[in-house]
Structure 1
Amino acid sequence: MKRRIAFYTASAFSLLGAVAQAQTTGQTTEVEEIIVTGIRGSLEAAAEIKRESVQVVDSIVAEDIGKFPDPTTAAALQRVPGVQVSIGNNNEIVNVLIRGLSDIQTTLDGRELFSTNSRNFQFQDLPADALARVDVIKSTTADLIEGGIAGVTDLRLHKPFDFDEPTAVIGARANYSTNVEEVNPQLSVLLTDRWNTGIGELGALLNVSWSETDYSRPVTYAPIRRSTAFRFDQPGFMVQNVAGGVNHYGTYERPQANAAFQLQATDELQFYADAIFTGYRSENQSAFVETQFFNPNTGVTLGAPSGDCFLARVSPSGLNPNAVELAAHNFTLQNLCNVTTATFTNATAFASAQSRDQETNNYLGAIGTRYQGERLDLKGEVSFQDSTYEEEVFIVDIGKRIPVTNVNSNFNEGGLYDAPGNPLGSADGMYLRNGLNQNFNKANGDLMAISLDGTYRIDSFITKVQAGVRYADRGAEYDQAQVNRAAPGGDLMTLVSSTGLGDEFYASMPGIPRINGGQSMLIPDPDYLRSAAGRDRLRQIYGFGVGDPAYAPERHFEATEKTYAAYLQAGYEFNVGGTVIDGVVGVRPTRTERTISGAGIISSVLTPVSADTTDSEVLPNFNARWVIGEDWQARFNYAKTMRRPGFDNLNPGISYIVATNPNVINSGNAGNPDLKPQISDSFDVTLEYYFKSGFLAGGVYYRDIKDRVINGTTAEVIDGITYNISRPRNVSAAELAGVEVSGQMFFDFLPGAWAGFGVFGNYTWADTEVTGDSSASNSLKGFPLQGVSEHNFNAGLLYERSGLSARMVYTYRSKYYDEDITGGNALRPIDAARADDPMYNPTWLGYVRAAGRLDMSIGYDITDSVRVDVGGTNVLGSKYRSYMGESFFNRDYRYDDSIYTVGMRVRF
């Protein structure tokens, strides 16, 4: 008998989905119906999915229609054991990692999903309002689409047959941001019904949502340190190269619409069609203000040294030598001590407006049919996806000399700067600085996939045989126009007032709390930089022609990729000593044929480059579950998984640009069409205990990854100019091991209203290490993986009783590094014994300090149809603090937003 899980509210997955899940697990025992209502119901449904899945799975189930437990998909994923996230410049949670890896295969209702020409999907592009459920599958099986060595994240949408009666749900929310002090709207509507017709039962569903968000994220930074022997003739000390900050601010909208149709033609045969659109529209800007201390004619008065001293190699310009300078031994050895406070006079400063227009459009559609017979199930489907991202970036810098700048690089683990009189707040004496940069780019990805899957159930210890085939035709394309030109006449030579630009050119930026006490400063007006008239006027001043620049042929690449895959998998079940052992064993062979073409500038000549590559892999898996009595079970899972290289890494062309800012390194990048797929041998062992009001689960995992891609940066001389060129190589490998512990329970045994309390939590210890070749390109060998905290936990307190529900969750992660700046010019400690070795360049990383965030929500059911709720994210105002290499080299201090919400949901 199939195991049935029925959910009486639409906040859970459908009965068909539950049956499909039961078939996947091969279970034959009956389970009681579970009624999903609110927080408790969603947690119990997620626990049941975890319990019954053949893989190691952690799930998130919506508490009700349009009510995911967190405001975004990425925010909800951070609650899953082993998942870590970070905060983007627009204050959204981004960069989802599963067990330290970003190599996640994302599917939407089982279909491959990606963003533009990437292998990954940007989770923030799908509003949580649309979701019914998310499964984070950490141990793969042969029937899942290959590509996720981190795991598979399956996003599930509502379907018409999830509902027994006509349903309409309207949600409205007001979100208040403390950084911008604005209230923003968020709306959603779901409509669904089903009818008996002459051709069978027909169901239709439409779900639309829209949100608008104003944001501001002020940042203060203290970048690299420089030897004061350069310019200031004070050997033995170093101070920060510049003092600056940036405020990322703007507005974005996220429209979303999905529709689904189901036709149950007979008891066994169903036809369906699904479609979804998600979009992103944004006008935003980064307003930089920066004072540069090592330009000519600047004076300094140093404060007392901090006592943090070390031996360093110093180039003639007071920085870490690059590869060319190392080879020529063009450096000196200096004992340097960090100075945290200083006063600079007559320094040059600039205010920069980086205006952006951004637009994303994701479309995915599918048609298919499924047959579910007594023993045989068949499913055939054709799906299509198109994903496009366009961005226009227009950058102009202005500036002047600043009489006095006071610097403190270690104020509460961040920089604090003051320029008396706030000189950048006035247009008087403002010059054009650095240059004008135009960066227009467009990325597109498309996919057509055909799949056929079948399952045949058998009355034997072999309970089923699964088989399937899949063909995918993927395309990717990228174009860019990047033009950079220095200010007319040179830096600080052309007064803005002499160009004819008037008041319409200036705007006041939002202040940065740690610079001049948060006073506003003038920048080029981002709206002026976005206007056609404003752009053309500035192009004339800088010596460009009017109109947007054409896409550069040397920055174009395109790829076509055909993938053929099949799988064969068998389910089994047998009794041993009164216990049950079940699972699946399978294999998935795949073959990829790829053509990628691009171009590069070689000795000033445009040179087309193309490459054809083929790779084939056979991916076996073995999964076993040992059911010990009613409450205990253990699992063992092994799978070989793969990850194909990203299209941007495969691009055979090379591009580079000369920087107009003297404090920015000339840089470029190149791809490598010969990159091989990454291969992982993955092992999971778990022990789980389920009881009436909760569960406890623990597990260990191990990943051995080969041919991991590392982007190595080396100094290359092109046409007499030195550039730091980044190139990807298969020189690395990685090992991951860790422990995950999770659990939840409700205190049903307490009297009265106290019985509504519950708790949940999870903890992950992650031990990662980069291995592989000992080469200059693999400078991270022996270090953990980028972006991975060793310790991560969630702790939550819950309450649900008499229509009232509440949740308070604290999420913590320990320090991690988010940037490899080994190839940069930051001074760093060296081993004196290796000082003369030109191949020795100590690894230098940017670290993020440990931090935690507290989120909370409270909701109340006014009636069976009307619910109101309030909530807050990051209510304690946690900040992002980072440093370079050594903890006393403070770097960024970022003001993560706190957002408070009030919402109402009405169901008819």
Structure 2
Amino acid sequence: MRHMLALSVSLVALTAAVPALAQQGSTPPNAQQTPPPTDADAPAGSDSAPLPGADAVAPPPAAPDTAAPDTATTGDEIVVTGIRASLARAAEIKRSAPQVVDSIVAQDIGKFPDPTTAAALQRVPGVQVTVGGNNEIVNPLVRGLPDILTTLDGREIFTAEGRGFAFQDLPAEAVARVDVFKSNTANLIEGGVAGTIDLRLNKAFNYTEPTIALSGKLNYPSNAEKLGPQVSFLATDRWDTGIGEIGALINVSWYDIPYNRPYNYVADRRSGAGGPQGASGLLLPISTGGLNEYGRYQRPQANASLQWQASPALEVYVDGLYSAYRSKFTTGFYEYRLGTATSVTGVDPSDNCFTARVASDGFNPNATTPASQITQQNLCAFNAATFNDLEAFTSTQAHDNRTDTWLAAGGFRFDQGPAKANVDLSYERSITNNANFIVDIGKRVPSVTLGLTNGDQTAAVAAPNNPMADPAGYTFINALFQDYSRASGGLFAAKADASYELGTIVKTIEVGGRYADRTANFQQVQLGISPPGGSFATPITATELPLERAPGIPQINNGAPFLLPSRDYLLSSAGQESLRAFFGAPAGQPAFQPTRRFDVAEKSYAAYAQAGYEVPFGDGPVVLDGRVGVRLSKTDREISGTGEVSGAPVTSTSRTSDTDWLPNASARLQLGGGLQLRATYARTLARPAFGSLNPGLNYIVSTNPNIRNSGSGGNPLLRPQKSDSYDATFEYYWKDGYIAIAGYYRDISDRVLNATTAEVIEGVTYNISRPRNVGTAKLKGIEASAQTFFSFLPGDLAGFGAFGNFTLADSEVGGDDPLAGYALQGVSKYNFNAGLLYDRKGISARVVYTYRSSYFDEDRTGTGDVRPIDTPVWLNYVRPNGRLDFSLGYDVTKNVTVTVEGSNILRSRYRSYINEDYLWRDTRTDDSLYAVSVRTRF
């Protein structure tokens, strides 16, 4: 309550300081004048569903009408369409919500602003994203934090055994709206320190007329140089019957997209003192090479809704969703093992040198290294060097990955007079099955030259005559490696919400509760068997193993292709059985290992109470309103995992119970003329991922002599992360746009990070990665965003508009953690979007540039990288990156639209380095994607 009092007093004080603001500016059309439309009045294609956290089930106010010349006519109703309508609707959601929220609204049925949901999210202020292996935008971060709760129409949704949801699994064509909640109210489901992202599907009662929409698109990824089709279909209608109005909607979509994403890397550095000849004093990469992820993926999806208006006050509904992912693809490795060369010549030394502590194996010592085996050496990087007579290999990781997610839900909404209620039951099941069959082949090659002077900070690797494209001399190396996993998750949830309007200063009382029963299971087998005679001993001609040409990697031999084992052969039953027999492995797919399994049962209970208040100041436009509430959450969890002790599997079970009070308070001061101020406080939490809680331990002896043994384990004692979150905003809205400035502060406790440490298990040293709570972390920053159309310009110039946003995220790990004083992992300090728009006379166009500054994405402190003496922290940093996207649409008729679009047309790339700017590591060539689509609507 003291937070609420402080916020209210602060905002009331502001009214005295700026009384003139209440009289300035013109009131936007319909602002505080026209009541919101009901679902039945909503134009076809509109999204009038209420925000979670709005007054019970009442929809937010309609988007303000604009004077835009581009309109569509539905009977006697004038409806603004396209980009302008989409942005106006998003602005009104932001303006009227009781939380700090940013929204994305579909421009039309099946027309989201970007090709995928995650790609669209990167336009939201404070949201950062990364690019996945198949070139899709993935892993959105809200203000730099990945701890996001994802909901679908207000229901928690996830992928397999994880807490999070793979946004790419829900095609953008299925989404009507996305709301990004950056501050909490008590009725939102707990579970996201960073915030909540709510995905909203189309519903039958959002349409006033029978509607059919069909779209088709051809995608052309420039790396893959192949076409990929995608289609979507939506049909909806509503009928007056003897038992009330009934509405039904079905939406289906399907993708088949080719991809190719090449990586180049310069691997961990060690001392060259132990060889090869000529490498003494050099900071020597153990290898250089790359990989391609290439193949195709399919995404079938279907969702449906059935709504029944049983009486004027009662609506009954049923929803269903099925989404899936299918992909057979190759991860094709291509590596030169520099440490196996007999000599190094042509060295062009660098001035970048440092003194390091070095173990006898040439790597950085760990806690188990005897002092007698540690020396101090002065090591220097090099600009270029040639490595002679060395080992090289290629490898096919043949993947067959499948994901299936089902969700079924139903309930009712009651709305009569001042009373409103909603009861919702849902069940979700999500399963992933991943198969990975790996064969490595290699040979010795005469020489390879590594250059590290490119002004673009990308390596250049050259091997004369491209020996890895010649089938002669290949032998089996390393191992036949089999990796199969299955993960599943289930959730039954029941929730009830109710509100009552009082018509006093205390405007509403809201109460509710939720019960959730979550299960998760993970199983895996990883087996490696050395080839007959050992590595580099048996020629591949001893089997029927076919080879295929893999797409090249730009930094290696200028992108020339290379040979590796055939993916189709490795995924075929005949190929797998033949290779198992040759390597001496048991026939058939191996059974899951007891030591690679965990099972979870988690029940959570929540109840909340919240009051909405509204305080007018005289008869003028100044109004203070907001929410004060609290949510009580209790979580009971049992997790069982199996580890290996003295060669035998041992299962351990951990039981925990957490109870948390999560208060919230908000205040919004409406000053009239489109100006408002807002302040919020909320306590939020994020439960640890189930994999992080797994008490089991997995480890493996490396088959590569240049890579240390490694493993991973969980920590069943991890505590939920918690955050005290504060937000304050200045917002000004006018007919054609808005400007908003927000400040935020997060005081986070028990932040979870992974770290690697050396552990001795049965006399063997392994680098084991485990999660831990790091104590405290601070995150503060500023967001600024604006959008407008230039309606004051003459003629067709009035169709131009612009939007942009900028985020400053200043984060710091606290406490006595080794990372204390460093930024949070994955957090860029600066992020911005800048875009130009055009929407007039059937032309709809947009060009957007998105920028993200440097950040670190991996803590390598516990690895073997040699480093300057007395350097306690060793991190992998990602360089700044920007992407340019565009779209251009034209309404051929009122029912047919043709669109051309492109993403990442400047071919930006992921580039990283290890702690020091000159220690280049990865270059990942992100794809440019071009597409042509046709959408019809009747």
Aligned to 1:632: 675
Aligned to 1:505: 546
In the alignment, structure 1 segments of 5+ residues that lack a partner are 832-840
| Structure 1 position 680 matched with structure 2 position 712 | no
| Structure 1 position 165 matched with structure 2 position 209 | yes
Contact 1:800 1:806 in 2 (8 A): yes
**Alpha carbon RMSD of aligned pairs, Å?**
1.8
| Structure 1 position 449 matched with structure 2 position 490 | no
Aligned to 1:689: 732
Identify which of 255, 259, 264 aligns with 2:309.
Answer: 264
Aligned to 2:328: 283
Identify which of 374, 378, 388 aligns with 1:331.
Answer: 374
For the residue of structure 2 that corresponds to 1:121, the secondary structure is: coil
Residues 1:732 and 1:487: Cα distance change in structure 2 (over 3 Å): farther
Aligned to 2:13: none
CA distance in 2, matches of 1:25, 1:818: 42
CA distance in 1, matches of 2:748, 2:439: 44
CA distance in 2, matches of 1:108, 1:430: 51
For the residue of structure 1 that corresponds to 2:826, the secondary structure is: coil
Aligned to 1:716: 759
- 1:868-907 correspondence runs (5 A): 868-907=898-937
Deviations 1:540-596 (A, max 9, x none): 222211100100011111000010100000000002364110011000001111111
Identify which of 379, 383, 399 aligns with 1:340.
Answer: 383
Code of the residue aligned with 1:507 in structure 2: it is E
TM-score (norm 2): 0.93
Residues 1:5 and 1:340: Cα distance change in structure 2 (over 3 Å): farther
| Structure 1 position 857 matched with structure 2 position 887 | yes
Aligned to 2:27: none
Identify which of 46, 55, 69 aligns with 1:12.
Answer: 46
CA distance in 2, matches of 1:651, 1:28: 46
| Structure 1 position 463 matched with structure 2 position 496 | no
Contact 2:52 2:187 in 1 (8 A): no
Aligned to 2:834: 795
Deviations 1:185-239 (A, max 9, x none): 0100000001111111000000000011100011111112222211135432223
Identify which of 110, 131, 140 aligns with 1:87.
Answer: 131
Residues 1:29 and 1:727: Cα distance change in structure 2 (over 3 Å): closer
Aligned to 2:191: 147
Q: 650-659 vs 54-63, which deviates more?
A: 650-659
Identify which of 277, 281, 293 aligns with 1:248.
Answer: 293
Aligned to 1:418: 462
Q: 356-365 vs 410-419, which deviates more?
A: 410-419
- 1:120-519 correspondence runs (5 A): 120-232=164-276, 234-295=279-340, 298-325=342-369, 328=371, 330-411=373-454, 412-497=456-541, 499=542, 501-502=543-544, 504-519=545-560
CA distance in 2, matches of 1:882, 1:251: 27
Task: State the Cα distance separating 1:536 from its structure 2 match.
Answer: 1.3
CA distance in 1, matches of 2:115, 2:580: 42
| Structure 1 position 48 matched with structure 2 position 92 | yes
Contact 1:485 1:660 in 2 (8 A): no
Contact 1:25 1:52 in 2 (8 A): no
CA distance in 2, matches of 1:443, 1:855: 35
TM-score (norm 1): 0.96
Contact 1:118 1:646 in 2 (8 A): yes
Task: State the Cα distance separating 1:435 from its structure 2 match.
Answer: 1.1
CA distance in 1, matches of 2:767, 2:704: 15
CA distance in 1, matches of 2:697, 2:210: 57
CA distance in 1, matches of 2:682, 2:44: 34
For the residue of structure 2 that corresponds to 1:637, the secondary structure is: strand
Identify which of 632, 642, 650 aligns with 1:599.
Answer: 642
Identify which of 537, 543, 558 aligns with 2:584.
Answer: 543
Task: State the Cα distance separating 1:421 from its structure 2 match.
Answer: 1.2
Deviations 1:326-365 (A, max 9, x none): x545211111111121111110000010110000001111
Contact 2:514 2:606 in 1 (8 A): yes
Task: State the Cα distance separating 1:5 from its structure 2 match.
Answer: 4.8
Task: State the Cα distance separating 1:414 from its structure 2 match.
Answer: 1.2
Code of the residue aligned with 2:146 in structure 1: it is S
Q: How many residues align?
A: 889
Task: State the Cα distance separating 1:682 from its structure 2 match.
Answer: 0.2
CA distance in 1, matches of 2:62, 2:847: 36
Deviations 1:670-706 (A, max 9, x none): 1111211111000000000111211100010000110
Code of the residue aligned with 2:309 in structure 1: it is Q
| Structure 1 position 736 matched with structure 2 position 769 | no
Identify which of 793, 805, 812 aligns with 2:851.
Answer: 812
| Structure 1 position 758 matched with structure 2 position 801 | yes
CA distance in 2, matches of 1:402, 1:493: 15
CA distance in 2, matches of 1:96, 1:713: 25
Deviations 1:416-475 (A, max 9, x none): 111111111122111111111111001100000011110111011000100001100000
Deviations 1:233-290 (A, max 9, x none): 5432223221101111111000110000000011100100000011000001111110
Contact 1:554 1:655 in 2 (8 A): yes
Task: State the Cα distance separating 1:307 from its structure 2 match.
Answer: 0.6
For the residue of structure 2 that corresponds to 1:321, the secondary structure is: coil
CA distance in 2, matches of 1:420, 1:672: 49
Code of the residue aligned with 1:848 in structure 2: it is V
CA distance in 2, matches of 1:11, 1:165: 10
- 1:523-542 correspondence runs (5 A): 523-542=564-583
CA distance in 2, matches of 1:552, 1:574: 63
CA distance in 2, matches of 1:733, 1:64: 44
Aligned to 1:836: none
| Structure 1 position 844 matched with structure 2 position 896 | no
Task: State the Cα distance separating 1:895 from its structure 2 match.
Answer: 1.1
Code of the residue aligned with 1:222 in structure 2: it is V
Deviations 1:505-536 (A, max 9, x none): 21111111221222211101111111111111
Residues 1:30 and 1:321: Cα distance change in structure 2 (over 3 Å): closer
Task: State the Cα distance separating 1:50 from its structure 2 match.
Answer: 0.3
Q: 539-548 vs 273-282, which deviates more?
A: 539-548
For the residue of structure 2 that corresponds to 1:294, the secondary structure is: helix
Code of the residue aligned with 1:272 in structure 2: it is Y
Deviations 1:46-81 (A, max 9, x none): 000000000000000000000000000000000000
CA distance in 2, matches of 1:486, 1:589: 55
Code of the residue aligned with 2:463 in structure 1: it is A
For the residue of structure 1 that corresponds to 2:580, the secondary structure is: helix
Task: State the Cα distance separating 1:28 from its structure 2 match.
Answer: 9.6
CA distance in 2, matches of 1:391, 1:812: 34
Task: State the Cα distance separating 1:722 from its structure 2 match.
Answer: 0.9
CA distance in 1, matches of 2:423, 2:151: 17
Identify which of 777, 783, 806 aligns with 2:822.
Answer: 783
Task: State the Cα distance separating 1:323 from its structure 2 match.
Answer: 2.2
Aligned to 1:574: 615
